[in-house]
Chains A and B, each alone.
Chain A
Amino acid sequence: MSPKHSNKSDVHPVIKLLYDKTFRSIMYQVLVFGGVFLLGWYLVSNTMANLERQNIATGFGFLEREAAFGISESLIHYTPESNYGRALLVGITNTLKVSATGVILATILGTFIGIMTVSKNWLLRFIGLGYIETFRNIPILLQLIFWYAVINRGLPGVRDALSPLPNVFLSNRGLYLPVMADHPAWSWVGIGFIVGIIGAFLLRKWSLKRLEATGQIFPHLSVGIAVIFAVPFLVWLLFGAPTAMNAPSLQGFNMRGGIRMTPEFTALLLGLTLYTTTYIAEVVRSGILSVSRGQTEAATSLGLRYSWVMRLIILPQALRVIIPPMTNQYLNLTKNSSLAVAIGYPDLVSISNTTMNQTGQAVEAVAIFMTVYLSISLSISYFMNWYNKRMALVER
């Protein structure tokens, strides 16, 4: 023992405080928080000062002003008379439209490809892996530009549109499909469809209850699907089975009537789906492989059918592994949709760019679209976390 240590009262109280563990950890946190706060304050105040010095307009008042530019496709009513706020709303709905469609398609396609890659069939496995390796390793932006060029230059003009099926037209103006002409029956058919889904759910609940009680099996899946389609079909028959169609036809410069998928939307959807599918397929593959072979063997030896083994034994366990990385892929797809600006699809970023250019208020416009993307991403995360919790194994 040195004499210094033996006499503690010699140490200065400030030094003593510095060596105190609790004090130090609090001090570090205060310093970090203060530093971050000061940096943020500096950034904001300096930006404001510079904007003011250059006489650049600030504030969100521009959202109320007339936008005066046209937008090619919109889910909500929009004309050039609408204001900038509404134009940005069109952008948000367009982003949601392409993201939601992309997520659904990529999940379905990804699951199939993922199952293909664990197949015992050599050809299926080869096709699946080949697809994944090709599309995963080409940057998404190049894929978007490629698909847009294929649609624009590879397909004929609107006057020489291809018609693979009657009343279906494919040209470099997009894909035109016929729809059912307006009839009161169709809204009732829609309601019938929802009723069918509810019916199928109730059926499933009832059949599971019966299974627990009596051990008797009821094929609730196939019967449920039949119910979902049968109810709207009956409603349709009840209304006298209307078949009038609203078919697209060439009038003036463009096709009119029917519904249409624009080349921009199609290229973006195709690019996003095919790219994200590769990742989802890998996620599904890893999920399936995470369930040990013994489980399959045990289930088979009990005499269960293969489809039951998949549905009741493997998938519930695989989903545990699949859901968290799947959330990432959904988020990636949504964020990648902002690349739409490259091919002229009027998504949020594209419309924000136009807005900031016409109003000169870049900081506000960027703040808006960053907030929107953050909100969308957080909502997806929240939903997927909730779903993950629901699907987690409940140990009994």
Chain B
Amino acid sequence: MLKKLTSTTAIAALSVTMLASGVQAGATFDAIKSQGYIQCGVNTSLPGFSAPIDGVWQGLDVDLCRGIAAAVFGDADAVRYTPLTAAQRFTALQSGEVDVLSRNTTWTLTRDTALGLNFAGVNYYDGQGFMVRADLGVNSATQLDGAAICVEPGTTTELNLADYFRAQGMSFEPVVIENTAEATAAFFSGRCDVYTTDMSGLASARNVDAENPADYLILPEVISKEPLGPAVRHGDDQWMDVVRWTLTAMIEAEEYGITSENVDEMRDTSTNPGIRRLLGVTPGMGEALGVSEDWAYNIIKQVGNYGESYQTNVTDLLGLDRGLNALWTEGGLMYAYPVR
């Protein structure tokens, strides 16, 4: 709760840090290498994506941070996490408080340009939905006229919500609460009729936070496209490359069938030139990226491929199947660029 007040402080600090952080090309990556860890901005609490479980940060977004650390330092644990609310996240990234923002953030034109950020890829294809109490007797979003709706400020969700109700000619009362945990608590206490966020966030709230998941119903309408991915600030293209290719390596590994279990065996025995290149048996990729040759090996060995990460964090915990996030070979959108 106190965290959210720091958003104002963080923003006030922005103007101060803006002066201090003389951003130069390559400066971010150099600074990270000399500090010895990745400062990663994550969600305050979104089980499945990033949440402290038994004192350890876990989730799909957290795994990406760990993958980057494995690629850069050969140690997936060389990460420090900064939990950020939706409203704090961009300021934190712009001002250099975090090196990379891996916090279920939608890739949009404005954010990619006017906010001074670069998105390095998409690690989860999502869409916005609505959750209601099952006993409300509502089974479609078109019946929500006049409802009180809990939403987090500073999100695309907030804008899509207004757009959707405008398009449907319906009215609503937004109850805008900054912290994810507080917003879901307000919904569960009955302050709002509806909670809206990305479908994955709804599943997370329903399956993990709710006392009895059966009391709540996720409506079938998906009202937006939400490609979620990691973002870095403008000014260091090499650092963006590292983030982009870490994600790619995790997807590529799944395409090749390399897992944390068989990666050693693959490295020693595989004759597939693609696998040999990815795992650094044939050198060149690591050097081009500015990291060690066994960068992808370290990611897969210590964190796992994309499919493994999805299985433990999303499928097992939230009960969501792969859907759009399946590999392109299986009808999804996950498509790795060639590592060569």
Contact = CB atoms under 8 A, between A and B. Distances in A.
Interface of A: 42-43, 46-47, 50-51, 53-57, 68-72, 79-81, 141, 145, 152-153, 157-158, 172-173, 251-254, 256, 263-264, 338-339, 341-344, 346, 349-350, 353-354, 356-363, 365-366
B190 A353 contact: no
Contacts of B14: 362-363, 366
B8 to A, nearest CB: 6
B164 to A, nearest CB: 10
A254 B171 CA distance: 12
Given A353-B154, A360-B90, A54 B189 contact: no
B241 interface: no
A231 to B, nearest CB: 38
B87 A172 contact: no
Interface centre among B23, B86, B91, B176 (most CB of A within 10 A): B176
B254 interface: no
Contact of B154 (A46, A47, A256, A357): A357
5 contacts: A43-B15, A72-B173, A141-B5, A341-B4, A350-B153
Contact of A46 (B11, B18, B148, B158): B18
Interface centre among A69, A172, A346 (most CB of B within 10 A): A69
Contacts of B233: 54
B166 A50 contact: no
Given A47-B19, A342-B1, A360 B115 contact: yes
B11 A251 contact: no
B18 A50 contact: yes
Contacts of A50: 18-19, 21-23
A342 B4 contact: yes
Nearest to B2: A141
Contacts of B7: 341, 353
Contacts of B11: 353, 356, 362, 365-366
Interface stretch (B106-114, B203-211, B213-221, B288-296): B106-114
Nearest to B190: A157
Nearest to A157: B190
Interface string B291-319: 00000000000000000000000000000
A80 B153 contact: no
Q: What size tier do the contact residues of chain B reach? A: 35 or more
B323 interface: no
Given A56-B116, A252-B146, A358-B159, A344 B177 contact: yes
B175 A341 contact: no
A321 B22 CA distance: 52
Contacts of A57: 113-115
Interface centre among A56, A251, A361 (most CB of B within 10 A): A56
B161 interface: yes
Nearest to A68: B159
B234 A172 contact: no
B115 A68 contact: no
B176 A53 contact: no
Nearest to B163: A68
A341 B5 contact: yes
Given A47-B15, A349-B8, A353-B153, 10 more contacts: A47-B19, A50-B22, A51-B116, A55-B113, A80-B163, A141-B5, A152-B186, A153-B189, A251-B146, A256-B146
Contacts of A360: 90, 94, 110-111, 114-116
B23 A54 contact: yes
Contacts of A47: 15, 18-19
A350 B14 CA distance: 17
Contacts of A362: 11, 14-15, 91, 94
B134 to A, nearest CB: 14
Interface centre among B22, B114, B161, B166 (most CB of A within 10 A): B114
Nearest to B17: A50
A359 B114 contact: yes
B158 A363 contact: no
Nearest to B178: A341
A355 B2 CA distance: 21
Contact of B86 (A51, A357, A361): A357
Contacts of A359: 110, 114
Contacts of A264: 175
A363 B18 CA distance: 10
Contacts of B87: 353-354, 357
A339 B178 CA distance: 13
B339 interface: no
Contacts of B111: 360
B147 A254 contact: yes
Nearest to B5: A342
A53 B28 CA distance: 14
B224 to A, nearest CB: 13
A94 B33 CA distance: 48
Contacts of A53: 23, 234-235
A206 to B, nearest CB: 51
A353 B152 CA distance: 12
B12 A366 contact: yes
Contact of A56 (B5, B114, B161, B166): B114
A54 B234 contact: yes
Contacts of B19: 42-43, 46-47, 50
B116 A55 contact: yes
A335 to B, nearest CB: 12
